[in-house]
Each structure stands twice: as C-alpha cells, then as structure tokens.
Amino acid sequence: MVIVPILHVKNLTKIFGDGCPLCPHSTGPEYETNVCKHCGSVVACSDVSFELYPGEILGIVGESGSGKSTVVNLLHFDWEVTSGEMFVQNTKMNGSININEKNLFALSSYQKRQIRNSFMGIVYQNPYLGLRMDVSSGGNIAERLIMANWRSIAMMRDRASELLEKTEIPVKRMDEPPRNFSGGMQQRVQIAKALSNNPLILLLDEVTTGLDVSVQARVLDLIRNLQREINLSIIVVSHDLGVIRLLTKRTIVMKYGRIVEIGLTDQILEDPQHPYTQILVSSQL
Amino acid sequence: MIIKFPFIKGEGVVTLLKIDNLSKIFNIHILGDKVIEGCDDVSFIVERGEFLGISGPSGAGKSTILKCIYRTYLPSGGDIWYDSVLYEQVNLAAIADHMVIGLRHKEIGYVSQFLKVIPRVSAIDIVAEPLLLKNGASPGEAKTKAGELLERLNIPQKLFDAYPATFSGGEQQRVNIARAIIWKPRLLLLDEPTASLDKDSTAIVMELLKEMRSEGTLMVGIFHDNELMELMADRIYRVNLGAKS
C-alpha cells in the first residue's frame, strides 16, 4: 500500500533582494545568518522540500526569522517564489485546468487564484490580514464563497451560519463586523472563513500566538476537533513546541531559512538530532 | 525499495518481529558532543502470539529498545524487521516517518509509564478516542466499550467525565492502559505499565493483557517486578550493563 502525498514541495526558495549565486552558500544555520554577505540579500528560505500526506497535521517550528511563515505564505501564493516547485495531487479541481504533474508556481496568476480559492485555506497570526474588519462576519465568509463560485445568497448565508456555529461564534452575531470581536473570536472567524470553501489543505500561521491561554486552549481544541471531523490536511506553523506537540504527528524544524530536521513529533521532542533542535527542545519551560 | 526479508516461516511458527544488532547512541551536541550509549548489539525474535519480556538493571537500555521499535528514538544501527499487515515486511529502523504513523495508527501500540494527559478531554473520551479514530466505531459504541473497560479497571463511574489531569497516579495509569489496549493493536509495547499500580489493579491489568495475548496480540514488555515478568512472559531477553561498557 503506497500513500501518495497530497502536496509535494521541492526546493522552495525565497530571496528578498537581487540575490547572487553565492547566496545559498553563505547563509543558513552553519553561517548563523540569512543575510548574504556578498550581495546583502535576505534568504528567507532556501531549498525547503517536504511532503504533506492526506489527513495529517504537519508542524513547522522555529524561532522568529527562521522562515517558517515565509514557507506558508509562498504555498498560498501570497508572495512570488524565487525558485522551487509545488505539486498537488489533483482530487478536486474540475474542468477548467488540469494541474496534475504541473508545477503550481509556474501557473498564471489567474490559475493560482483558482487553485487557492478551490482548495486552500489560510489563517494568519494577525486577523487583519485574513479578515475585512469592517465587513460583517457573514460577509467575510460570503466573500470567499463568491470567489469559489458560489452564487445563491441564501445558500451562502446557510453555509456561513453553519461554519460560525462550528467555530463557536454565536450565529446571532453573524452580521457584526469582526472589529467588534475579541482576539480569540476574530481568530475563530478567520478559521470559519478559511474552511468555507471546503479546502483540502489548511495553512495555520501562528494562530494562537498572542492569545491568552484559556482562549488559546479553545482555538487549539477547535482545530483538533475540526481535523478529526473533516479529515483536513493541515500545516501548522508555530514557535511553540506545546502547540506542535498537541496538534501534530510530524514536524519540520527550521533555522535561518533552512530545514534542519524533519521527523515524527515525538522523536523530535525526545530524540532531537540537530544541535539547534536540541537547544530548542531543552529551552522548553 | 528491495527488501531481503530474513524471516523463516516454518511449521506453525511465524516470526513477526526480528531485531538484528540494534544499537542506539545519543549524541548530545549541547553538552559538547557528549555521547551516551542507549543500547548495543540487541538481537531477538518474537513469534506470533508470544509475549517477550525484557529484563535487566536500571539504565541498561530496556526502554531504549522499546522506543526504538516505536521509533520515538531513531536507531543508530541495526534492523527492526516487522511483518506488518499494512505494508507487509518492513524495517522499522529505516522506513519513512509517514509509514511509521500509518503503523502506529493501525497496528503498533505503546504503553508508557505515565499518562501523557491530553488537556481538556474527559477520561472516557480519552479511552474511546482510539476506537473512533482507528477502528471506525460509532461514537455510542466507542463510549460504551470505553465505559466497560474503565469499569473493569475499577475507575469509579463518577470520574468518567472528569479530566484525568486531576486523577491520582494509579488512576491516570489505568486510563493510560485502557487507552492503549482498547483498540487491540497487533503489536503492543509495554514500558513498565504497572509500576504505579497497587496489587489489585496490577492483577486486573495482567488479566487483560493475557486476554489480548490469547487473541493474538504480540507483546514486548518491561516490568519493574521480576515475578510479574516471569508470570507473563513466554521468554525473557536479558540486557546487561556490562555489555555496554
């Protein structure tokens, strides 16, 4: 029995600045920097390769500046990649384009939008990036549904209330803008919005960072339950090993834009191999 | 991947687990590349329906062996051959992480010495969860079976809906055992499961384990008590401190 990954990322690289041929060879954990000393460019991530399997939660952990958020932003086409490839196992895209065995980063921006709208969802650390704060919560969800080609207003309203219920937002507050909500509620509206198009892949970028612990606990429980209910494939980016331990089965450890270690989460925590992972694990409170 | 599988399948005897020259070395970079030996030159086989005990003094690497089989530790050398249902014959020391996850999901269970509490989940849900996720039971069915098992393990009914974080050590450990055995894994690794239990609870756990073995679960276990070990195990593999130094 062979399990086919739902997402396959190869040699993902993002350089801010002009870049030079020496960039990859003068940055990274062994040089303890991600600024190239030859051209001054910032190598946000380089040579990042991994697979995401159906139904799994994969963690990406690292300190700030390690490139972990860069990776999810690139996967979501928020930024242009400098180089690299991404392949998705085609299970849902119907009709318009055949993306089997195609490098998604090489598609047109129209096609990238289509892919993003039909099978990706993202939740940012900062709800201002993921939500329109002045538009009602229901409207935020509807906006995404419209992008995914929904047209019936009644159906969109039903879907929005279903999702808000799932994410524990009182449905009667559906017509209020997220600006009125607390941080934890805003995060849950973001999750509802990200789930609205039934994505195959959900990207969570530090979703509980900055929330107080009881609110953080509710958001984490919500993610755990959603994953069990709808069997999503999720990438969780966090600097918090507690979050990684609770949610994930496999983890990528990043430092200065590079992957230093990939492994089973319990192996990363109990038998870390790379010197940086050992420091990270031993630094836990 | 071409695997030359070393198992010999003879009359009625089927080897399901074969460990060849397993070794584990920890390289602690943050302590100036200090090297700690976990276990060395470990070889044994376990046949269908067998319970293999591992004995040896504290620090000899008994738990290390179990953690290598479960892949919580990455083995440094040697092979761990396992005749799985999911992928047929595999070397647990070398297969990809996602395959290990698949095997842990469907075949290989592990009982630790302590319950690693899942926060904000009630005792009964902790025990019912594997049935829901692994065996595809309905929520009602899973809860009923979880309740029955907890009852057999003498957990008072009033605690079923409470969070085990507040339980006594012995109660937590019984929840831990219930969660590990309820889904009937094909290979069960036991790391001193009864260390924090009183005599009566230990007897119940032993009975449950015997039932599982008679139903065909393969077991490799460490017990803090040699008498228990003699009682449970079909064969005993001894690890010595001497072999390591």
> What pLDDT was estimated at residue B190?
96
- Tell me if chain B has a CB within 8 Å of the CB of A270: yes
**B113 vs A contacts (CB less than 8 Å):** none
For A139, the enclosing helix (H) or strand (E) is helix A137-147
d(C-alpha B181, C-alpha B200), whole Å: 18
pLDDT tens for residues B182-206?
A: 999 999 999 999 988 999 999 999 9
CB of A117 less than 8 A from some CB of B = no
Among B28, B86, B133, beta carbon nearest to A1: B86
Residue A100 has pLDDT above 80, yes or no: no
Give the chain B residue whose CA is nearest to the CA of A267: B72
Contact call for residues B113 and B191 (beta carbons, < 8 A): yes
Q: pTM here?
A: 0.91
HSE value, Cβ hemisphere, 13 Å, CA-based, for A109: 4
- Total domains in chain A come to 1
Tell me what pLDDT residue B227 has. Answer: 87
A170 in a structural domain = no
**Residue A240 within a domain:** yes
Mean residue pLDDT of chain A comes to 91
* Of the candidate ranges A116-130, A216-230, B180-194, B205-219, the one whose mean pLDDT is the lowest: A216-230
Crossing angle between the packed helical segments B139-152 and B169-181, to the nearest 10 degrees: 130
**What pLDDT is recorded for position B79?**
96
A266 touches chain B (CB under 8 A): yes
- Per-residue confidence (pLDDT) for residue A214, from 0 to 100: 82
Question: A175 vs A96, which has greater pLDDT?
Answer: A175
CA distance A172 to B62: 58
pLDDT of A94 strictly over 60: no
Pairing of strands B34-47, B15-28: antiparallel
CA angle B240, B242, B243 (to 5 degrees): 75
The pLDDT, as a whole number, for residue B245 is 42
Contact yes or no for B123/B159 (Cβ under 8 A)? yes
Whether B109 and B185 have beta carbons less than 8 Å apart is answered as yes
pLDDT of residue B113: 84
Q: How many angstroms separate the Cα of B136 from the Cα of each of A2, B118, B182?
A: 21, 21, 13
Q: Read off the pLDDT of each residue in A80-92 and give the average, rounded to a whole number.
A: 85
What residues of B are in contact with residue A51 (Cβ under 8 Å)? 98
Do the domain assignments include residue A114?
A: yes
Question: What would the pLDDT profile of A4-18 be if each residue is shown by its tens digit?
Answer: 899 999 999 999 999
The overall longest dimension of chain A from CA atoms, in Å, is 58
SS3 assignment for B186-234: CEEEEECCCCCCCHHHHHHHHHHHHHHHHCCCEEEEECCCHHHHHHHCC
Contacts of A278 in chain B (CB under 8 A): 28-30
Whole-number percent of chain A with pLDDT over 70:
96
Q: Which tokens hold the place of A36?
A: 């190239």
Structural tokens at position B234:
């079909």
- Looking up residue A62, the CATH number of its domain turns out to be 3.40.50.300
A86 CA to chain B: closest CA distance, Å?
A: 19
| Chain A residues touching residue B74 (CB < 8 angstroms) | 263, 267, 271, 273
At A21, list the tokens.
């041929």
Q: Render pLDDT for A242-255 as a digit per residue (tens, 0 to 9).
A: 999 999 999 999 99
Let me know if residue A230 belongs to a domain. yes
Q: Is residue A9 part of a domain?
A: no
Confidence at residue B1, expressed as pLDDT on a 0 to 100 scale:
39
Q: Is the pLDDT of residue A44 over 70?
A: yes
pLDDT per residue as tens, chain B (245 positions): 344 445 555 555 678 999 999 999 999 998 999 999 999 999 999 998 899 999 998 889 999 999 999 999 999 999 999 999 999 899 999 999 999 999 999 999 999 888 887 788 999 999 999 999 898 899 999 999 999 999 999 999 999 999 999 999 999 999 999 999 999 999 999 999 998 899 999 999 999 999 999 998 999 999 988 888 888 899 999 998 755 44
Closest Cα in chain A, distance from residue B227 (Å): 30
Q: Which amino acid is at B165?
A: A
Amino acid B2: pLDDT: 40
The pLDDT tens digits for A140-153 are: 999 999 988 889 99
**Which residue in A30, A224, A267 has the most chain B C-beta atoms within 10 A of its own C-beta, making it the best mutation to test that interface?**
A267
State the pLDDT at residue A149: 85
pLDDT at A97: 62
Q: What is residue B7's predicted lDDT score, i.e. its pLDDT?
A: 55
* Six token digits for residue B183: 């889904």
The residue range of the domain holding A97 is: 56-123+200-283
- What spatial distance separates the first Cα and last Cα of chain B, rounded to whole Å? 36
Mention every residue, 6+ apart, whose C-beta is less than 8 A from residue B243: B40, B41
Q: Which of B74, B87, B101 sits opposite A271 (nearest CB)?
A: B74
Instruction: Identify from A168, A266, A268, A276 which residue to disrupt to test chain B contact, counting B C-beta atoms within 10 A and taking the largest count.
Output: A266
Q: Where are the domains of chain B?
A: 49-74+97-244
Interchain contact, A246 vs B120, CB within 8 Å:
no
The domain defined by B49-74+97-244 folds into: Rossmann fold (3.40.50)
Percent of chain A with pLDDT over 90: 69
- Write the DSSP string, B45-61: EEETT-EEEEE--TTSS
A103: left (phi over 0), alpha (psi -120 to 50) or beta: beta
Give the three-state DSSP class for B33. coil
Helix-then-strand count for chain B, H and E: 7, 9
User: How far is Cα B197 from Cα A198, in angstroms, rounded to an integer?
Assistant: 47
